[in-house]
Amino acid sequence: MTAPRSLRAILSAHLNDRASSWSIGGYGAIAEFHWLPDDDPAGAADTLQVVTRAGALQLQLREDIVPHAYLSLSQHPDRWLQGFALCLPWRRARRAARTVLTELGPDHDAMRKQDRRGVLFDLGLGLSHVEACVRSDSPALSKALRAGCGRSLLDAGNRLMDVIKKANPHRVFMSQLGRVEVYQAIAAAGQKPAAPLGPHTHVIPRLLLKQRPGADDDAPAYHRACAYLYPRHPLMDSLGRRKPYDCDAHAHFTALMERWGGRSFMTERQRAMHAMRNREDASHYRAPADSRSRRALRIAIRELAQALGEDDVIDAWRRRFDRTTAPKHPHLVH
């Protein structure tokens, strides 16, 4: 099966843009692919895969793929988050959803030939649409992992996660639409920054135990996001640090939203922007009833504040419809 040519061209262009980043994962466990400044990639973007010394990314597109551009609220009152999700109907997105550590055998699909003898172990994190694995070429680590098979890594008293962190195996996250491989070492406890530059993973047991479904914004109803693209953001760099407003990046992502954004979200976003541009009184504006459209209203206020600059009208809309208290934690960047 093949994806639309226009989608393939967009993804290929972003694979060549080092300001874009990618991920595969779910709530509590995610593998991210970011470029390092000195990366010398192998492979070509037109094949929708790239391999670097720190990690690799491969996309596998299908005819039933559903692209979905989305915006969501940042915890900072002057920002928003954005992403472009590659989705499938939830039944077709489903993977094995194992809940115990399981040996899968040699990784014949590894993106580098030298890694294909490494043995994959599914961590058994219970994600319905992602298999979060480690790949071992160490006899000692493989022996320890085999001894732990059949148990949940999330069980109280299971110390195998500490063994994995110390051994630093490759991490391999797979969905129905691709894989991310991470070759870099796992960040040590207390390390600053908490994640290394470039490709890395996050596995957070306390979040996995909550069994929370995907975000409301990142997929259409009855679909699951199987891979994510994060294009250049107009306000933040790839590390989430604030930068001067980039109107070209904003226009680029708005074009993706207009083509592949949710209909109700875009309708409310456009309605709110039209009202603010016409200097309408915020007290006369009827806020939407559903939560997704209310988020669209709040994000529209933030977008116009950046695009047009702060003024009395936008300030009145913010006071009426959007929270204005910045997060207290100094390292909270999103």
Residue 136 has pLDDT above 70, yes or no: yes
Cα–Cα distance measured from residue 75 to residue 263, given in angstroms and rounded to the nearest whole number: 24
Quickly state the pLDDT bin for 196 (edges 50, 70, 90).
confident
Task: Output the DSSP codes for 98-167.
Answer: --S-EEEEE-TT-SSGGGTTSEEEE-----SS-EEEEEE--HHHHHHHHHHTTS-TTSTT--HHHHHHHH
Report the first-to-last Cα separation within the chain, whole angstroms.
37
Instruction: Please report, for residues 219, 272, 305, 308, 310, the alpha-carbon distance to residue 247 in angstroms, rounded to integers and kept in the order given.
Output: 26, 19, 12, 10, 15
| pLDDT exceeds 80 at position 325 | no
pLDDT, the chain, mean: 91
Q: State the pLDDT at residue 176.
A: 98
* Residue 192 banded pLDDT, cuts 50, 70, 90: low
Q: Which amino acid is at 153?
A: L
Query: How far is the C-alpha of 20 from the C-alpha of 37, rounded, in Å?
Result: 13
Tell how far CA 306 is from the center of its chain: 24
Whole-number CA gyration radius for the chain: 21
